[in-house]
A and B are shown apart, each in its own frame.
Chain A
Amino acid sequence: MRLRELVNSKELLKEWMIEKLIWICGISAIFFVFGIFFFVFREGADYLLRGFKVTEFFTSIEWYPTSRTQVRYGALALITGTFSVTLLAMFIAVPFGLGAAVFISEFCPPRLRESLKVIIELLAAIPSVVWGFIGLTIMNSLILNLFSAPIGLNVLNGGIILALMSVPIIVSIGEDALKAVPDSYREASLALGCTRWQMIFRVLVPAARNGLLAAVLLGVGRAVGETMAVLMATGHSIRIPGGVLEPVRTLTATIAAELGEAPVHSDHYQVLFIIGILLFSITFVVNLTADLVVRGIRRK
């Protein structure tokens, strides 16, 4: 009898420990996110409160962090750089990604579907530096030849690379959203005499609207935050692009390129962290929106 109690209490202790361990694993994510935000903010806070010119940062294109005569931190060109590349990437990736999601979920024979999904996941697993390398070599010479552009590393190059990187996310989340549409809607519309296309456009897409939007927003988040590939593919020139064949530099690429050179705790170093805060805020808002949108589906 006592032996049994002993065994029981041992089992209970084990249960308790496992429970706590799992709890810590779950909670840790929150801890890390706030931790990262805190440290990034702390590195930039001093300058942010002391001498940071908000208007110059957002409206000037003059980014001269190491000028001897007059240091200027105008990030407008970098911001437009990020947005132009992201916009172009989404312009390519959204139709492709959603189209692929519709194909996989509605048209694909089951066997092809499985292999396609594996391949798309493989696409997501390619390291960003490899994408950058492709941009630097293959895409570069392609763009030089096809468009006879003066430089092959530009918005177009970065946009295509980023599009290829965001497509897997858009496809897999978009496909989940379409799969989550109850089959009864499909049967109802087919039985009323819909063609497949009518079913997709009149029933499935409206029903999966939130999930598809979330897929797009997560793709945007991916594109905004991507660093290495755009650093290598966009040509690294600080200016507001007048067309897709002009080189730019993004916010992320600026941090990656300059942080190593900036003396620790100098103004320049701190401004780079402020850019980090800006990026963090952008992706945070985008992801939060996506998340709220996804929650919106479940509530219905």
Chain B
Amino acid sequence: MNENKHSIETRALSLWYGEFQALYNVSVDIGHGLITSLIGPSGCGKTTLLRCFNRVNERYGNVKTSGEIRILGKNIYDPDVELIELRKSVGMVFQRPNPLPISVYENVVFGLRLHTPAKELTRARLDEAVEEALTDVGLWDDLKDRLKRKATDLQLEQQQKLCIARLLPLKPEIILMDEPCSALDVEATRQIEELMLELAGRYTIVIVTHNMAQARRVSHECLFMLMGELVEHSRTEDLFINPADSRTADYIEGRFG
């Protein structure tokens, strides 16, 4: 039953980079199909928390964690968890758009090629996946004649949409976004936000943002973090209008941060 309500559950999650503790006993349930914002001042651990969910922060080597993270009911630190499978179902969008230096087409099917045996990948199947994914992010009409173009030559907002599109053929459950709009202008930000709202429901979206107005516009729920601790987790309206914790109130009113 639990699995239907929450996509991500953490229990007493603590994390250290070497000697430095970045997360303190974070326990949180992130609702299925919702957009959840992680907000808080720089260095509060929100990006660290986000990067735990697909275990991508382990690549730095000096990371220690305790506690557990259950994604779709399964603890991702269990020894039998395949990192590759985890990352297939938990996609990630980064701060700077980072399409790979290959064609638009190859960027979209990159994940499929990794996770599907080559002989199952017919041309038709790949073409279909590309059209579907690009249509979902609203790029198909712009790019359908330029699929062979190098993805790194696109405009930044198109690159960022492409970075979202390339997750979709893998049918992820969860999409993590690490300040996806901080490199984009106002118009592009608006487009990405609209896209997020369209994708919500089908996917659980967790977004880290510095922009409180953005958190307010796009998210159903908000997590406020401070110094590696989770201070408050509630519906977005409640958090902004009627924060339960005085620190949250101080932050959203701009008294610090």
A residues bordering B, Cβ < 8 Å?
109, 182, 184-195, 198, 202-203, 206-207, 300
Contact = CB atoms under 8 A, between A and B. Distances in A.
Contacts of B110: 189, 192, 202
Interface stretch (B15-23, B68-76, B83-91, B204-212): B83-91
Interface in B86-103: 86-88, 91-92, 94, 96, 98-102
Contacts of B170: 192-193
Select the residue from B88, B98, B163, B170 with max chain A CB neighbours within 10 A: B98
B201 to A, nearest CB: 23
B211 to A, nearest CB: 21
B160 to A, nearest CB: 12
Contacts of A195: 84
A109 B92 CA distance: 26
A191 B87 contact: yes
Nearest to B56: A191
Contacts of A186: 59
Sorted nearest first, the 4 A-B pairs with minimum C-beta distance are: A184-B98, A193-B87, A191-B92, A188-B98
A139 to B, nearest CB: 40
A185 B114 contact: no
Contact of A190 (B56, B61, B115, B163): B56
B151 to A, nearest CB: 11
Given A190-B87, A192-B111, A198-B114, A203 B54 contact: no
A192 B166 contact: yes
A207 B101 contact: yes
The SS class assigned to the A binding surface is helix
Contact of B100 (A109, A189, A300): A189
B56 A192 contact: no
Contacts of A184: 94, 96, 98
Given A193-B88, A193-B114, A195-B84, A188 B59 contact: no
Given A184-B96, A206-B102, 11 more contacts: A185-B98, A186-B59, A187-B94, A188-B94, A190-B59, A190-B87, A191-B87, A191-B91, A192-B87, A192-B166, A203-B100
Nearest to B176: A191
Contacts of B167: 192
Contacts of A182: 98
B101 A193 contact: no
Contacts of B166: 192
Select the residue from B56, B61, B87, B110 with max chain A CB neighbours within 10 A: B110
Contacts of B85: 193
A198 B170 CA distance: 17
Interface string B143-182: 0000000000000000000010011001000000000000
A134 to B, nearest CB: 38
A235 B8 CA distance: 70
A193 B84 contact: yes
B170 to A, nearest CB: 8
B252 to A, nearest CB: 30
A151 to B, nearest CB: 49
B240 to A, nearest CB: 30
Contacts of B96: 184
Contacts of A202: 110
A149 B92 CA distance: 60
Interface in B113-127: 114-115
